[in-house]
Structure 1
């Protein structure tokens, strides 16, 4: 019997997640073996697993993963360092929000892939342009999310801070930021996923390393198992990172589970 919006035990959650994964792999295997799709376009899961192993043992895929992880995290942390203070200021001072929000709203609707030629002109084909692509894909969305999270802090909290003698900066630091932090951490988890989605775009432009470069290079030789293995590698890294964020959220904000 399904329970509407009720929590389920952690063990049951893990079992259901594993069952869903097994069902997906089984359906994939059946479709690949049925002959409906040529193996050249849809290899079987064992073929992709073998290709995954070859990437690590023969193609030095570990170094490409480390390079991509470094690029993603550098761009993401750079976006966070700028977006969080700016979002707090935009929520606390309406004049700051009125100044920045129209421009940020305009930029966030621009497709990042369309900006790649311009970023190359500005930053060249080195690391700077790749970081810029990843940063552009995260920053403008994140700053508005942080602003919204800060605006949702109850006015009673802020009034209590001023009543106890805190000044404006102390209220921002000791009241608004801690109160908004749980939702902010969730939004950081989501926007980090967005950063990974732009990795391929960032690494197909004059790159000689990284997961995106490997995938794009293998595509030219129609090595579908290896291409799928590279895509799955991104998914695995993203899943592990996402679970790490969830773990931190549960451990730090234990009072939210009560």
Structure 2
């Protein structure tokens, strides 16, 4: 085979026809709604079934792996006594304050970084450095600066979320098509109007996705914060249960945290889908 320049190329290898791939295994192939719900149910049923199976065999002691029945009983006892509700509210209140402050700071900052290259150039180095510092490493300093009260716990949540959410928001804003800005400017829109009426609405679904991801980080951090110098909260309850080898309570609390996170995730996803109906 000779190209237009006279250079000889090796002939293309013969290949067998590609095998037909099942729809569920195809790259980028949409999954039918029924199949999607089946896969979701299986993803929960398989680990739950393994838990039942291993605990029923008794190969692992109950102090290390409690049975689902023991876990349910421990969770029900904490709920009936009101202890669980108090701890859930204590942890949720800390997240509302800490995560709320982080979102209020990071979203506008991320929008400015994504929309204005000069702001991005000025802030990206320091924000990029700070996001690599483990939030838990600030606990000794926060205790020194703010004491062992609520302020240090809220500050830990802010530190652990604000830098990541800032950069993720900036990345979302940067991918807003330039054509939309250029058309708006051609029609006479000013910079502030383009930012408010074009850039922010277009990026809002992606910003909500970033918030949804970082909300899980906030839950991880609040548990870490409550393991030290706390008198209430789910992390504090885990720490107390660990002292007395009450693994059934630990499992119950972990399940509660997972269910709360799942509920919040579903709500944020529904809000995101409603706001971004125009997106594919």
TM-based fold match above 0.5: yes
Going by fraction, where is helix more abundant, 1 or 2? 1
Q: Quote the offset at 1:140 in angstroms.
A: 0.3
For residue 68 of structure 2, what is the aligned residue in structure 1? 45
For residue 106 of structure 1, what is the aligned residue in structure 2? 129
For residue 252 of structure 1, what is the aligned residue in structure 2? 275
Q: Quote the offset at 1:108 in angstroms.
A: 0.5
Matched, 1:135 2:135: no
Q: Quote the offset at 1:217 in angstroms.
A: 1.1
Q: Quote the offset at 1:201 in angstroms.
A: 1.1
Q: What are structure 1's unaligned runs of at least 5 residues?
A: none
Identify the range of structure 1 (15-24 vs 96-105) with the bigger mean alpha-carbon deviation. Answer: 15-24
CA distance in 1, matches of 2:30, 2:71: 35
For residue 179 of structure 2, what is the aligned residue in structure 1? 156
For residue 125 of structure 1, what is the aligned residue in structure 2? 148
SS at match of 1:198: helix
**Which of 31, 35, 38 in structure 2 is aligned with 1:15?**
38
Matched, 1:232 2:251: no
For residue 67 of structure 1, what is the aligned residue in structure 2? 90
SS at match of 2:278: helix
CA deviation profile, 1:57-107 (whole Å, cap 9, x unmatched): 125210110121121122112111111111111122222222211111111
After TM superposition, the score normalised by the length of structure 2 is 0.88
Check conservation: 2:205, 2:273, Cα contact below 8 A. Answer: no
CA distance in 1, matches of 2:201, 2:236: 40
CA distance in 2, matches of 1:191, 1:247: 17
CA distance in 2, matches of 1:123, 1:10: 50
Task: Give runs of ≥4 in structure 1 deviating > 4 Å.
Answer: none
**Which of 225, 232, 241 in structure 2 is aligned with 1:202?**
225
Change (3 A) 1:28 1:232: same
CA distance in 1, matches of 2:62, 2:157: 33
Aligned length: 257
Q: Quote the offset at 1:191 in angstroms.
A: 0.7
For residue 10 of structure 2, what is the aligned residue in structure 1? none
